Structure 1
Amino acid sequence: MGGKYRITGDKYPRMRPHRRRGRLVVVVVACGAVLGVAGWGTLQLIDVFTGGGGTATAAGTGCSTKATKASPAASASAAVAGAAPKPAQITVNVFNATTRSGLAKTTADELKKRGFKIGEVGNATKQYDKKVAGTGILLGPAASLNTSLPVLATQLTTAERRTDAARAGTALDLIIGNQFNGLTSPTASVKALSALAAPQPTATTKKGC
């Protein structure tokens, strides 16, 4: 400009952005951070009260589904319960692998009282004679693993279970070992049999809205 209002010198006025705009940006960022933290906290509370990551929302329904898995032990019991025969359907051979005489006969007689069929009774073969350190061995064909073998195991719960894929027939062997002091008590055996026969819980899916 000229005349009276002419500007002289090398300094010129500078245009600065309005300070209020900067404050507005700071306020918007702060509000976003607060909302984010509040949302995260809400999700954490939902996880605490609903059981965490096992929950999924069904699309378009607004309902949640939660899968519950059965334990391995329960799954095995369920498999046995579905095919477990009764003691009267199981033939048991009783063999004595100890140096104590008469154990095979007395054990066979007790198993007969408990409803099992009795096959051979006598001394164990050389493969097992005086070689069974525990209370006993329950031996059967491969197909007996989840059927008749668990049923016989209720009568001597501390015995080792074995299967032989080459074994023919369905009969089981109870081979008495050095630590044998008698069969499991009748009360405990009946309870164990009842547990095998009882229906077991399986994996289920829970839904909630």
Structure 2
Amino acid sequence: MSMLTPSGMGGKYRITGDHYPRMRRPKRRGRIVAVVIASVVVLGLFGYGALQLFDVFKGDDGDTKANAAPQSHPCTASPAPALKPMALPQPAGVTMNVYNATTRGGLAKTTADEFAKRGFKVKSFGNASAPYDKKVTQTALVVAGPAGEAAAREAGTQIAGSTVKIDPARKDKNVDVMIGNAYTAMASPADAAKARVTAANPPPPAPACGASTSPSAKPKSS
């Protein structure tokens, strides 16, 4: 069976066969794929922009050092107060109490016995009181009043890494030695002798930044 398009309709094509062609719109798969890709790109750009905006408000510019808490610098830190030189008493002139501020048993007695062997007068020993118990992190904390500062320095020379604390409210000359967590043993007699020289004549504090380290240094004339 054959058929020609009717005249007057401007047809130029001849249709043959028993079935007419179905007139369908061209498939749009390519357009759909393009739309999906564009959507993914837009969403990605939106997410990246949101992340950058979050970082701006958070203050994170990728440099962790810039946003870290300001560190103390030798040039800006307040200089430590200078310790006055003073004559230290001999061990026989120091009366002390030895207290154990750690969780290890027996330290007060063994340390007190060692102090006694070195000539110090040990008045008592035992566990540290609540303000110091398990709170002394260094090797030892030597506590005394202003009148007992020289005795405290002398006692501190026997334990390397110890710290002297002066309690203004204390009136007696006795010394309290608080054994701390870092304590392992007392200093050797030779090391104690070296520490005694430093304790009697403390070095001056580090000069402030910008200060001349040489007293004879003078600015050059232009």
Using the alignment, how far apart are the partners of 1:155 and 1:182 within structure 2? 10
What's the secondary structure of 2:105's corresponding residue? coil
Using the alignment, how far apart are the partners of 1:163 and 1:182 within structure 2? 24
- 1:139–1:164 contact (8 Å) kept in structure 2: yes
Structure 1 runs of 4+ aligned residues shifted over 6 Å read none
Q: How does 1:58-207 map to 2 (within 5 A)?
A: 76=83, 79-81=85-87, 84-145=88-149, 147-193=150-196
Q: Which residue does 1:27 correspond to in 2?
A: none
For the pair shown, the structure with the greater C-alpha radius of gyration is 2
Tell me the TM-score normalised to structure 2 length: 0.50
Using the alignment, how far apart are the partners of 2:130 and 2:140 within structure 1? 15
- Shift of residue 120, structure 1, vs aligned partner: 1.3
- 1:137–1:176 contact (8 Å) kept in structure 2: yes
Moved more, 184-193 or 153-162: 184-193
- Shift of residue 152, structure 1, vs aligned partner: 1.1
Taking a change above 3 Å as real, the CA distance of residues 134 and 192 of structure 1, as seen in their structure-2 partners, is closer
Taking a change above 3 Å as real, the CA distance of residues 98 and 195 of structure 1, as seen in their structure-2 partners, is closer
- 2:157–2:199 contact (8 Å) kept in structure 1: no
Select the structure with the greater relative contact order (CA < 8 A; seq sep ≥ 6). Answer: 1
- 2:148–2:174 contact (8 Å) kept in structure 1: no
Q: How does 1:9-24 map to 2 (within 5 A)?
A: none
- 2:139–2:160 contact (8 Å) kept in structure 1: no
- Shift of residue 142, structure 1, vs aligned partner: 1.5
Structure having the larger proportion of residues in strand:
1
Q: Which residue does 1:204 correspond to in 2?
A: none
Moved more, 149-158 or 118-127: 149-158
Taking a change above 3 Å as real, the CA distance of residues 108 and 197 of structure 1, as seen in their structure-2 partners, is same
Using the alignment, how far apart are the partners of 1:191 and 1:184 within structure 2? 10
- Shift of residue 193, structure 1, vs aligned partner: 3.1
Using the alignment, how far apart are the partners of 1:161 and 1:197 within structure 2? 13
5+ unaligned residues in a row in structure 1: which ranges? 1-74, 201-209
What's the secondary structure of 1:138's corresponding residue? strand
AA matched with 2:186: L
AA matched with 2:160: T
Using the alignment, how far apart are the partners of 2:83 and 2:111 within structure 1? 28
Taking a change above 3 Å as real, the CA distance of residues 118 and 143 of structure 1, as seen in their structure-2 partners, is same
Structure having the larger proportion of residues in helix:
1
- Shift of residue 98, structure 1, vs aligned partner: 0.7
- Shift of residue 182, structure 1, vs aligned partner: 1.2
- 2:148–2:172 contact (8 Å) kept in structure 1: no
AA matched with 2:92: A
Tell me the TM-score normalised to structure 1 length: 0.53
Using the alignment, how far apart are the partners of 2:156 and 2:145 within structure 1? 14
AA matched with 1:171: N
